[in-house]
Amino acid sequence: MSWLVTGGAGYIGSHVVREFRRAGIDVVVLDDLSSGIASFVPDDVPFVRGSILDRDLVQEALRAHDVTGVVHVAGYKYAGVSVQRPLHTYEQNVTGTAVLLEAMAAEGVDRIVFSSSAAVYGTPPSDVVTEDTPKAPASPYGESKLIGEWLLRDQATATGLRHTSLRYFNVVGSGDSDLYDASPHNLFPLVFDALLEGRTPRINGDDYATPDGTCVRDYVHVADLAVSHVAAARRLDAGEPVEAAYNLGSGGGVSVREIMDAMNEGTGIDFTPEVAPRRPGDPDRIVADGTLAARDLDWRMRHTLLEMVRSAWEARRQAA
């Protein structure tokens, strides 16, 4: 018996894989390496290379490895770019999830933890987001994640699928020094790449209605995120009740200026960020209420902002 982690060679998925192993739960990885990195998968973890769009491959992986549950992390994760690539985004995130659910139903696999996103909320009407905050995704990516949640809900009605969706906010840090965020669009790697190349990092807008004028966002450590995936899987295995969705956020939030200050200290590189014009559509502040996840999924902030920066910087430098 084992759990399948789709996208298990990616930044978040690989941390989930390692946390499952620490918990003594057998795990298998399925990843097409379109953005994942093969070396992120431990040598002793079964690795199936391929796409979740390939139903036969997915079904064979479920059968061959006696899979009883799935953590579905695979997908196209670039919200901004999804506006230019909507069809690709829907194919990967909506069709891919539907194919996975078909394969699971065919093999009798009846539990799933779904990687959702804060993007389902779009620009919320309040600056502290609960699971009941109205959903108004502002990109094809956010829309695709919300549709993914609907697919799970409807499949549960049809087949009794046991499921929960974890809505990530801004995931940063590293739980192992050989695992790093390789995204070309996320704030931490963008700052690190600039520093490693001798460029000055920049802030997009300093005229927001926040204490220091820069956007406030909710940053969480990837290792803390992984712990809650395991907790969710355990609850599903035990038949314990779970919510349809959980926010994984701090309840506080930090500004981009505070991130830059922590980058100064955490990297040991002194710099003054450039200030560029704000980006259209960026809300002043988005922070998540993680009360439900704290109650059910062992969710808590185990790392300070400085620890997030230092762990991510160490992993990125090791990969350089």
Q: Would you please indicate which residues are annotated as catalytic (active-site) residues?
A: 141
What is the rounded distance in angstroms from the CA atom of residue 281 to the CA atom of residue 145? Answer: 19
With vertex at residue 228, the alpha carbon angle to CA 239 and CA 247, rounded to the nearest 5 degrees, is 100
Smallest CA-to-CA distance from 272 within 223, 218, 202 is with 202
Q: What's the burial of 77, exposed, middle or buried (CB within 10 Å: 0-12/13-18/19+)? A: buried
User: Which of 237, 208, 74, 231 is closest to 144 using CA atoms?
Assistant: 74
The angle at the Cα of 8, spanning 5 to 12, to the nearest 5 degrees, equals 110
Q: Is 108 helix (H, G, I), strand (E, B) or coil?
A: coil
Q: How many CB atoms lie within 10 A of CB 98?
A: 17
- Distance between CA atoms of residues 61 and 69, nearest Å: 12
